[in-house]
Every structure is written in C-alpha cells, then in structure tokens.
A and B are shown apart, each in its own frame.
Chain A
C-alpha cells in the first residue's frame, strides 16, 4: 500500500524560529493536506493543496505541493508557543478517496 514518510519526527525550537517539515510518498497523490492536532483533539486542517507546484499560505504557514506529486512541505515562520502540537501531512489519490497520513511531526516551541 501507499506509504507517507514524514520528517522530522520531532522538533524542539525556540520561539521566533522558522520550522520546516516535509512528506514524501512512494506514489502520486492528487491532493496534499496538512493538519495540526492538539492533545485530545481531532486534527484541524491547516492548508489544502490541489495542484502540482502549488504554493499556498495561511498566515505564518506556507505549504507546497511538489512538482512530482510525491512530496509536500510545510513551513511555519516566526514560531510562537501555540504552534506546539503534532503536524500531519495527508495525501489523497483521487477526489473522495481515503486519506493516507504521515506519521506526524511533534513540534515543541520553547518560549
């Protein structure tokens, strides 16, 4: 089956620093999604990407859909303490199909 490799698994940074995480896939996806999950909560959609090469921003977050359709990255600029959480990438082969999730990146921001 499909596999999504997400890295890094965890990050410890100082407030104000920029963060980058990425996902690579063994197969092509037509949609890439980035979610954030706080403890005891469901994931919340941050950014959705629907086109190869697409670069999309949401406030301090920027994500790109790789040209090969097999990768995506998420950048967070000027991190703040509330950015703490687990970030998941997710890929979707075709519209309406299931999501395949990466293993998550645990982000810790030290004030």
Chain B
C-alpha cells in the first residue's frame, strides 16, 4: 500500500513570496490533515478535511494560508505572502475515519516539505 505522498520535499523562498505544497493521501482515506511542525515542537494542526469539506481550520492563519481539496483526494496548501516565522516542516497526514465509536483516527504522515523563508 502506497503511503502519503508530498511534494516538494524542500523549498527555499524569500519573505513575501508565495509557495504551494501538494499532498496525495493513502488510497481510501477520507480524512486529510495539514500540520505545521516548527523545530523542537510537536506537529500543530492547520486544517482538517473530510472528503472535500473542511472539518477544522481554527488554527489556520487565514490572512495568508489557504488550502483546498477539490475532488476529495489530493490537496494543496498555499502560503501567500510568506513570513520568516513560516519556516517549518509542513506535514500532510491521512486517516480512514468511520462513523461513531470505534473509529479511532490513526493518522499516517507523509515525508513532509521543509520550508525555509529568507
């Protein structure tokens, strides 16, 4: 079974530029997550999709970050304009989520995109 795919693996940009990251989840996984992981910290959820709908984007800085999952499969996360503090690893994860009790959202991560903002 193929894992979560992400691209690019590395990106270096200047502040105020824009950048986009792509993620393809594990086949059959309805739920897709984007996390930001700053060095020395645990991953922090940015946005959660179930199929092509947003479930939780409460921690997404919406003035500069946007994400979409138009066909309920792959997803794109965009930053425009980037700031120095956006330097981090952006992780995509997916899970097979059923309904109700017993559906315990085991999440599997892709390799991540390391973003450096200069």
* Binding partners A and B: no
